[in-house]
Structure 1
C-alpha cells in the first residue's frame, strides 16, 4: 500500500488517537440527560463476547438494545474530538421481541465508529450487535487474520448464531427480522452475507491494470488471495440465509465481486453512497453495485453533500482544527463533521428505517 493510500485510510487510527491521546487529557464525565424527543425506548448498551468453538478468532464488541426508560441516558464527555453516543449502560431491557441488525466496521475500524447508529436504532426498537473484526480492527491488527478476509462475514454469522442460541438474548430477537449493515470494508463484508462472491479472475485483471480502485491496494497490503488455497477460501459463498435485508454504507470493494453473484442477489439491498466521493470513486463502487443488483432488490441513494466519514460519529465543532494541528492530514475525518454530519445522520437513520420497516 502506498504511503498516500495509507494516509487516506488512516481515519480509524485517528479515531483511536483522538479517543486516547487527545481525549486522554480530559477526565471522563458522565452526565444524566433528559431527552424530550419522542423515541419509544432508551439506548441500552452492554458488552458482547461471543462464546463459541472458534478459539482462534475470539469476537467481542457491544450490543445495543431498547430499554424501558426512553428519556434517560448517560453521556461521556471524554474526547476533544468526538461527541459520544447517548447510552444507558446495562439499562433494563424493554420487553418484547425486536429486529436484530449486525453491523460491520470499516478498515481498521472498531465498534465506536458506528456507536451513534447503534444508539439511534436501539431507541427505535432495534437490537444492534457490533464486534471488532480480528485482524482488520483498530485494536486487533494481525497480518494472518487480515489476509483471511473470508472470515469477516463469518464473524457476523457467528454473532447471529450466538445471539439466537443465548438464553438471555434469544427471547428478545425476532428471527424473521435479522438484518446486516456495514460501512466501507464493512459494506463489502455484508454484501458477502447477501450472496456476493469474490472473483479471483476480476482481481487479476483489475488489480494489474492502470487506475486501480482503492481495494486493490488494500488487498495487496494484506496479501489477500495470493495463494491457491486463499483464493479458494475467498471464492466460497458466505451467504447467510437468516439475513433478510442488507445495508451498504459507502462500501469499498465492488470491483472484485463476481458480476454473476451480484445479479443473483435475492434479498433487498439499500446502497447508500456519498456524493462528495472524498475517499471512494462512486462510479466503480456504490453506483456500480446498484447497477449490478437486480432492479427489484436494490434501492440506491447518494446522499447529497455527504462524505465517506459521515457514516462515522459526529465531531465536536473544534475537532477539525485540533486534528489539523495534532494529527496533520487526519482532519479529513471531520470535514463538515459537526452540524452538517448531524443532518446526514438524521437522513441516514430515516432511510434505514424506511428500508427496514415492513
Structure 2
C-alpha cells in the first residue's frame, strides 16, 4: 500500500476521533444559570386511545433552591435548566398544553416553555407517539386525530390528579403548537380538515416539504380513515390558541373554521410570500373570527427549534439535507426566539393572567 494512502487513512481516523471528542466536550457546555428555574416532572400516562402509555412532561412554578439540571441539552442543541421534582409554589396557575412538531419532542421547546413558567403558567406536554424524535413514522403522521386526543388526555389527568402539588386553574387553559403541533392545537379549538382537499393538495405539491416524505414512503392517502380525519376534536376547555407555522392549512374546507370560538394567534416564520404553502396561514387566519396573525421577519420554519451549538451548525450543515441550524439574513436564532417569546408571552398573558 502506498504511503499516501496510509497517511490519508490515518488522517481520516484522526478527524473522526477529533469529531467525537468535540461532540463529547460540546455536550458538557452550559449557559449561565437563570435566576428563576421552572420545576419539572416526568411520568407516563395510560390513555384509552393508544395501546401504550404516553409521556407526561410537566413544567410548573416551583420553590427555588437546590442545583439546576440541564434538560434537552446535547452536542448539537442547547437545552434549558430545570428543578426536577421540586416542590410547587403555592397558588392556582393557568395551564398551557403544548404540542411539538413532526419529528420533534416537548423538552426541546424548553427555550419557550421555561419562559412561560416564569411568567406564572403551568405547561404540560407529551412526545406524540409516531411523530416524535426517533419515532417519526409517515404512516402514523397521517393520523392527525391522535395528537389532539393526547392533549385532551393530558388535561384530563391534570384536572383529576395534578402531580407535584401543583394547583392548575382549569378555567384558564390555552394550547400552543408548532408545525403539525400547530394544526393539533387548532384542531383542539374546533378546526376541521378535509381528506379530499388534503389529497388534492398533495397531488399538486408532490415531493414538497409536507407531502413528499410520506409519498416517498409509500403512504396511500386513499386509505386515511375519513371519518376520523374529518371529525371535530374540539375541547371546550381551550380558551386560547397559539399556532406557529401550522400544518394542513390547505386542507381546511370553507366550513372548517366555523366552530372556532377561542382567542387565536397564528404566527408564520417569515413573510407570507416566502412561507411554503404547507404552512402559510395568513388566509386561514382571515377565516377565523377575531384571529390575530403575525409574521416574523428574517425567520424560517426551523427557526422555532432550539438554538444550535457551533458544532451543531457545522455538523448539520455538512449533512447535506435542510440545515435546520441555519437562519436567514444572518439573524441570530436567539434574536428570533426573543421576539417569539415576547409575542407569544404577551398574547397568553393577556388571555390567561
Look up the SS of the partner of 2:308 in the other structure: coil
Which ranges in structure 1 are unaligned for 5 or more consecutive residues?
1-20
Rate the CA distance shift 1:261–1:212 in 2: closer, same or farther, 3 A: farther
CA deviations on 1:127-168 (whole Å, 9 max, x unpaired) are 111211111112334565434321111111111111111143
Q: Report the equivalent of 1:315.
A: 308
CA deviations on 1:5-59 (whole Å, 9 max, x unpaired) are xxxxxxxxxxxxxxxx8986348649795535xxxx5211121322344451421
The separation in 2 between residues aligned to 1:84 and 1:240, in whole angstroms, is 31
Asked if 1:328 corresponds to 2:320, the answer is yes
The separation in 2 between residues aligned to 1:211 and 1:135, in whole angstroms, is 22
| Contact 1:314 1:337 survives alignment (8 Å) | no
Pairing partner for 1:300 from 278, 293, 298: 293
Asked if 1:113 corresponds to 2:112, the answer is no
Asked if 1:163 corresponds to 2:158, the answer is yes
The separation in 1 between residues aligned to 2:48 and 2:28, in whole angstroms, is 38
| Contact 2:102 2:136 survives alignment (8 Å) | no
Q: Report the equivalent of 1:60.
A: 55
Greater gyration radius: 2
The separation in 1 between residues aligned to 2:51 and 2:329, in whole angstroms, is 38
Report the TM-score when normalising by structure 2: 0.81
Q: Report the equivalent of 2:7.
A: none
Look up the SS of the partner of 1:182 in the other structure: strand
Rate the CA distance shift 1:145–1:64 in 2: closer, same or farther, 3 A: same
CA deviations on 1:60-87 (whole Å, 9 max, x unpaired) are 0421111122896333695332111122
CA deviations on 1:178-220 (whole Å, 9 max, x unpaired) are 1111111110111111111111232243333367864443564
Q: Report the equivalent of 2:83.
A: 88
Pairing partner for 2:117 from 119, 122, 133: 122
| Contact 1:264 1:293 survives alignment (8 Å) | no
The separation in 2 between residues aligned to 1:172 and 1:240, in whole angstroms, is 20
Look up the SS of the partner of 2:295 in the other structure: strand
Structure 1 residues 1-358: aligned runs within 5 Å: 25-26=24-25, 29=28, 34-36=33-35, 41-54=36-49, 56-69=51-64, 73-75=68-70, 79-142=74-137, 145-168=140-163, 172-209=167-204, 214-217=209-212, 220=215, 221=217, 223=219, 225-227=221-223, 230-275=225-270, 280-281=275-276, 285-294=280-289, 296=290, 298-325=291-318, 327-335=319-327, 340-358=332-350
Question: Mean Cα displacement is larger for which, 100-109 or 205-214?
Answer: 205-214
| Contact 1:43 1:70 survives alignment (8 Å) | no
The separation in 1 between residues aligned to 2:345 and 2:331, in whole angstroms, is 21
CA deviations on 1:243-273 (whole Å, 9 max, x unpaired) are 1111101122100112212144211111111
Count of residues paired in the alignment: 330
- Find runs of 4+ consecutive structure 1 residues off by over 6 angstroms: none
Look up the SS of the partner of 1:148 in the other structure: coil
Report the TM-score when normalising by structure 1: 0.80
| Contact 1:252 1:280 survives alignment (8 Å) | no
Look up the SS of the partner of 1:244 in the other structure: strand
| Contact 2:148 2:185 survives alignment (8 Å) | yes
The separation in 1 between residues aligned to 2:330 and 2:164, in whole angstroms, is 35
Q: Report the equivalent of 1:8.
A: none
